[in-house]
Amino acid sequence: MLRRALPTRPEARRILLGTLLSAVGRGLTLPFLFIYLTDLRGLSDTTAGLAIGWCGAVTLALSPVGGTLIDRFGARRVVLPCLVLEAVGTGLLALVHSTGTAFAVLTLVAVGSSALWSGQATILASLTDDGERQRVFGLQFALLNLGIGLGGLVSGAVVDVARPVTFQAIYLLDALSYLMPAVILLTLPQVGHRLAVATGAEERPATGGYLTVLRDRPFRRLVVFGLVLTTCGYAQIEVGFTAYAIRVVGVTPRVVAWALAANTVMIVLSQLLVIRRLEGRSRTGALAAVGAVFATAWLVLGAAGLVGTGNALLAALGVVACSAIFGFGETLLSPVMPALTNALATDELRGRYNAMSSMIFGISGVIGPVTAGPLIGAAHGRVWVVAVVGGCLTASVIALSLRRLLDPGQDGRGTLAPPREPEAVAR
């Protein structure tokens, strides 16, 4: 299954290696930003949520600019400086000491991250064909989470709220990790140039821009689905999940780190199998299943909150189980969402399509923390659980409504890829 998922081109494999290396650093810090800002830097729950939400707002505002720059100048010229900015901003988080510095540093982080997702997705899409793209995006996500899990295991073993230096160390290591994919991209001088030029199209800039993208009715419906799902799913991990687990369930930050590890184990063990099972099946059906799985995960976390400190072991197991179930939903989403986005995109507007897709995370990154932090901080944890469960189920309904707008090829129905030849893998 691993051989089948590997991209044919060696350049794509090296890009995936960069994803893995940078993900290890991301895993060191992923579950701890909210706790770091509140328990170590003295920000209130509401202020920390607003600061993280501000980061999402800046990312959202700059994402369209990133997509335009990618289509006009090529992903390479955009991704490289963004990786450097992300490294600098992440390293400076270790020096945050007040609300003002937190907002300033998170602004720099947001500038760096604004075009990373769309740029890297555009590069990977340009190095793969339609038949292998869904598998490769799934493998990318598995490697991403493998790296995050490894980093989470390390940070879970060393971080201590009584020793701020341990948190500073993981942010510095995270900063260094962002330079790894930059180095790899520098060793691939032919990768990441403007797609319209590489395919022999005219030199003039693509016409239509975001207006053309927004007129694409199936893609608009996909964006709505993504907004609802990520607001009630991914956007809740850093603030909602962490805050509920610690404030309501009563577990320690170390349990949160182990929950992240369980999430990774689920993804790494099941992703390749899920990729194989998804081939030839409806992509919209898979997206609808994601909403149901995410809703189940939040219900399990809510049940852990009801148990609370009355049974610490059962409560901790509930937190870990929530993360693991959520991980299974991610294995369904990760290959399908980018593959469907790029199936709807044209080469001359591929950067903009991927930027619009990344904007989904920007918008949800604003709404999620801004709502979860105050709700949980004001002891309204049950309201938060009801809201995210309802949102995930609503996303499932939207996904099912998308199917009639797609042709069978775009929906992935009956498009089983032929088996890979051994010599193709070795090239």
- Sites in the chain below the pLDDT cut of 70: 1-2, 195-208, 309, 373-374, 377-380, 414-427
Give this prediction's pTM. Answer: 0.75
d(CA 125, CA 75): 11
The Cα–Cα gap between 329 and 346 comes to 28
Please report how many Cα atoms fall inside a 13 Å half-sphere around the Cα of residue 223, on the Cβ side. 20
Q: Extract the tokens encoding 228.
A: 């609802």
Measured distance CA(69)–CA(354) in Å, rounded: 12
The strand ranges marked E within 203-275 are none
**How many angstroms separate the CA atoms of 26 and 144, rounded?**
9
Q: Which two tokens stand for residue 114?
A: 């604004």
Span 2-195+211-413 CATH architecture: Up-down Bundle (1.20)
pLDDT at 80: 95
Q: What DSSP designation does 421 have?
A: P
Length of the chain: 427
What per-residue confidence (pLDDT) applies to 200? 46
- Predicted confidence at residue 243, as pLDDT, reads 83
Q: How far apart (Å, rounded) are the C-alpha atoms in residues 149 and 266?
A: 10
C-alpha–C-alpha distance, residues 227 and 368, integer Å: 11
pLDDT at 401: 94
Q: What is the DSSP string of 184-208?
A: HHHT-TTSS--HHHHTT--SSPPSS
Q: Which of 156, 410, 370 is nearest to 258 (CA)?
A: 156
| Largest separation between any pair of C-alpha atoms in the chain | 68
Scanning the structure block, which residue is given the tokens 């016409």?
207
pLDDT at residue number 340: 92
pLDDT reported for residue 377: 65
Secondary structure class of 427 (helix, strand, coil): coil
Q: What is the DSSP string of 218-233?
A: HHHHHHHHHHHHHHHT
| Domain map (residue ranges) of the chain | 2-195+211-413
The residues, any chain, with a CB within 8 Å of residue 170's CB and separated by 6 or more, are: 28, 29, 32, 155, 158, 159
